[in-house]
Amino acid sequence: MKNAYPGTGMSRIAIIVAMAKNRTIGVNNTLPWRCPEDLKHFKALTMGHHMIMGRKTFESIGRPLPGRTTVVVTRDPALKIEGCLIAHSLPEALKLCGNHAFIVGGADIYAQSIDYADILYITEIQQDVDGDAHFTEFDLSTWREISREVRTQDTPQPLEYHFVTYQRN
């Protein structure tokens, strides 16, 4: 059973992330690989939905992504971003999303939300990658794999990656 944020009631929380074998997800506040099909996958899954992201991830993207409601989480009481909703805690962010949201990173936000997620969409990059942001360690035995799609690309860099979906047991 997953935990529930106090007062949030019924929820549907998905985490979406691309991570290397050594759990790297970022470097210098950007993605450490180029994988256009993964960006398409992200777009297809999140389109029309609410997305919750940390302030640093928002700065990395630099703009609200079209067709989705972006909730940026920050501790800065003065921060305002045109085209985005602002929340000062994860429970506040979830409330703005009616408790149905994609958690889209980064490392800090994933670590705080993994215990509350129902479903994980992980793009598993099949190699170690150097970086300075990593996906939180979590107990995979409490999740079951429900789908895996194996993909490869030659350009813009050779990469094998798997689109994997895990559901909480």
Ligand X SMILES: NC(=O)c1ccc[n+]([C@@H]2O[C@H](COP(=O)([O-])OP(=O)(O)OC[C@H]3O[C@@H](n4cnc5c(N)ncnc54)[C@H](OP(=O)(O)O)[C@@H]3O)[C@@H](O)[C@H]2O)c1
Query: What is the distance between the alpha carbons of residues 104 and 106, in angstroms, rounded to a whole number?
Result: 7
Considering only 51, 84, 90, 94, the residue that binds ligand X (CB under 6 A) is 90
- Residue closer to ligand X (CB basis): 31 or 169: 31
54 binds ligand X (CB under 6 A): yes
Beta bridge partners of 51: 70, 102
Q: Which of residues 6-45 bind ligand X (CB under 6 A)?
A: 17-19, 25-26, 29-31
Q: Smallest distance, Å, CB 54 to ligand X?
A: 2
Q: Which residues contact 126 (CB under 8 A, 6 or more apart)?
A: 21, 159, 160, 161, 162
For the segment 99-128, give every residue that binds ligand X (CB under 6 A).
Answer: 104-109, 112
Q: How many residues bind ligand X (CB under 6 A)?
A: 28
The sign of the CA dihedral 96, 102, 105, 109 is: positive
Q: Phi and psi at residue 168, in whole multiples of 5°?
A: -65, 135
Using the minimum distance from each CB to ligand X, give the nearer residue, 76 or 169.
Answer: 76
Distance, CA of 103 to CA of 115 (rounded, Å): 12
Residue 154: DSSP 8-state = -
The nearest distance, CB 7 to ligand X, in angstroms, is 15
- The residue ranges that bind ligand X (CB under 6 A) are 17-19, 25-26, 29-31, 54-57, 60, 73-76, 88-90, 104-109, 112, 133
